Amino acid sequence: MSGWRGRPGRLPGQPLARALGLGLTTGIVYFVGTVYWTSTVVATFGQVPAPLAVVAMLLLAFYLALYPALAAVVTSRLITRAGAPALFLAPAAWVACEFGRGYLFGGFPWVPLGNSQVTVLPIAQLASLFGVYGLSALVAFVNAAIAYALLTGGRARLKAVAAAVLVLLATAGWGTWRVADGSLTREGTPLQIGLVQGNIAQEDKWNPDEAYRIFTTHVAMTRDVVRRGARFVLWPESSTPFSFEDHPWGDTLRGLARETGVPLLVGSDQTVRQPETRHYNAAFMLAPDGRTAATYHKIQLVPFGEFVPMADWLSFFPPLVQTLAGFEPFSAGSEMAMLPVGEHLVSTAICYEVVYPRLASEAVQAGSELLTTITNDGWYGQSSAPYQHFAMASMRAIEQGRYLARAANTGISGVVDPYGRVVQASAIFEQAGMVEEVRLLTSRTVYSMLGDSIAYVAIALTAAALITVGRR
């Protein structure tokens, strides 16, 4: 903006190429700083040379950066046409693009802007009304108001600052009241839940020599949390070192459910052979009598970790698909299964499914009274990824007004209340058996009923602005 001599409220047009470059730079810094750990995962477990793994991470960051770059281009175009006031359309453009990132090409809604507020509890309560994208809109609005204030003067500047302050004060005031009221922590039916964090090293999980130790560790920890009062026990994702339904130890696990008299939620692979062979990343709910009460198949698979994108285009050469995946790819589940706990229904999300707001919404709409998630974050090592993952899971609790229980192989395991408060949490890479009270709830938040309406409003507003805002 150097050399600008226009009136307050008017900005000179900026080349779209410059806006694209600034947006890409912003996005690349944003995502290299948050998904840097993917290079270590690919190098360590994908047996890819380190330099190539770094290139793969940079390509992922570049792709993700295209979305804030598009938001920057749209905002630049609107400012060119309408001047500085068009800055206040930037939140709509940002949310529209961020929402698209969660859907296009399978979606990858990792670390949305709004999740930055998950630990700022008074502000984070806005998610119970408008979801994480509502929080993204709030953060973008405040920054747009600051930018407008810096680029203008006089009454226009005062109005922009006042608008940002008033919105923040109203949000924080209501959020503070909501957390202090805490009615959701007194409603519903209490339930003692047990979380088993076996802390099995990733390189040991499928080592046949370690299978007995892994299995007996989880069995012993289950007996311990039940002895301490747990009435529902969660094992992590893929916690059995065998396919549950195809191994003799599966009967031992059913016997454990009968012995303890509590339902067990266990992560394990499943192979379905009729009408055609399919492999699933699954979660089995074992009833207290040992029978399988429900089975959930993971719906949102990890690209290149559990399936190969566009694999149908490569179907003429199946070995290539298996080589790209490094294993025989999983099939995606088709529906949100409800898991019975006595007379109540709960739901689960496997691994990074929990970062998808719509899946938690579908679960609550289907009757889930408790959100659970089982995961194996051992892939991430000593990086920030387990903490990012846990923070995004916590946002689902606020959005849906539900307790969330999380069992992770190497951590973080824990319980989050419906206001986003972490009731109990483990450290990473420690063995931990946790027992904590949750409540089975039936009341609904506004967000659980309206879903991502604010994202659709943002898309419509952005499109309408691009069509109708005239040139100056």
> Which positions are annotated as active-site residues?
237, 298, 351
Residue 290, exposed/middle/buried by CB under 10 A (0-12, 13-18, 19+)? middle
CA 296/CA 351 separation, integer angstroms? 13
Output helix, strand, coil percentages for the chain, rounded to the nearest 5. Answer: 55, 15, 30
Strand partners, 346: 339
State how far the Cα of 267 lies from the Cα of 272, in Å rounded to an integer.
16
Contact 376, 409 (CB under 8 A): yes
- The 8-class DSSP code of residue 430 comes to S
Residues 6+ apart with CB under 8 A from 134: 114, 126, 127, 447, 454
In eight-state DSSP terms, residue 233 is: E
Q: Which two tokens stand for residue 72?
A: 């920057």
CB 18: neighbour CB atoms within 10 A?
12
Looking at residue 132, its amino acid is V
Separation of alpha carbons 64 and 98, rounded Å? 9
C-alpha 87, offset from chain centre: 29
The encoded tokens of residue 362 equal: 């579908």
Tokens at 256, concatenated: 């454990």
Residue 150 is inside which H or E element, if any?
helix 127-151
Tell me the backbone φ, ψ of residue 234, rounded to 5 degrees.
-115, 130
